[in-house]
Chain A
Amino acid sequence: EIVMTQSPATLSVSPGERITLSCRASQTVSTRLAWYQQKPGQVPRLLIYGASARATGVPDRFSGGGSGTEFTLIISSLQAEDFAAYYCQQYNDWPLTFGGGTKVEIK
């Protein structure tokens, strides 16, 4: 099983800041990596797939990058509505696996 490790677990930031979330795979997943956002009390929402392609309706302040085993999700200027948990998921191999998540909270 491919283990996905996200860091940090929690990130305390101020609105307007640029942040970088990391996701590491225990073995290569090529670019078969998705990111999901989950706001408090809501269901997960697809943000990024193919490591860098934004899903429909996702603002361009969100950008994904990386390949192989190292991936990043960058939010260029954090908005109030971006405070949420973010999860990465690999779909290069079965079983599909998620990272433990990064919670982005207001400083």
Chain B
Amino acid sequence: EVQLVESGGGLIQRGANLRLSCAASGFTFSSYAMTWVRQTPGGGLEWLSSISESGSNTQNSDSVKGRFIISRDNSKNTLYLDMHSLRDDDTAVYYCAKFAITGWTRLSAIFDPWGQGTLVTVSP
């Protein structure tokens, strides 16, 4: 069974940095692109970043470009999101998700499954 378990969230001060992790199991991690999506308190979903199977290619939302960095360690079956200079509007539940099909193109950017999420709360 595919499992994705996020960790690293919590209460963090505005302007601070945070690293989220997503531990993957139940599939060949190095064969699939991965992604981070967040869900704001209002309920909306926002795609943040995706990374290719090897980690050599990434795509990022303009809203977090330059502040959030996606990476992966295939030897540890782990996906990361390094978040810098956190702002109040970064408060959200952060999900990692697996691309449903193999391949690094936007055409394979369908997300299944999703992890349980980790809550990041940025305080003033």
Q: Residues of A with Cβ closer than 8 Å to B?
A: 1, 32, 34, 36, 43-46, 49, 55, 85, 87, 89, 91-98, 100-101
Contacts and interface: CB of A to CB of B under 8 A. Distances in A.
B43 interface: yes
A101 B40 CA distance: 12
A46 B97 CA distance: 11
Given A91-B106, A92-B106, A94-B59, A45 B113 contact: yes
Interface of B: 37, 43-47, 50, 59-62, 95, 100, 106-117
A46 B44 contact: no
8 contacts: A43-B117, A44-B114, A89-B47, A94-B106, A95-B60, A96-B50, A98-B37, A100-B44
A18 B21 CA distance: 41
Contact of A34 (B46, B50, B60, B110): B110
A87 B45 contact: yes
A89 B45 CA distance: 9
A16 B106 CA distance: 37
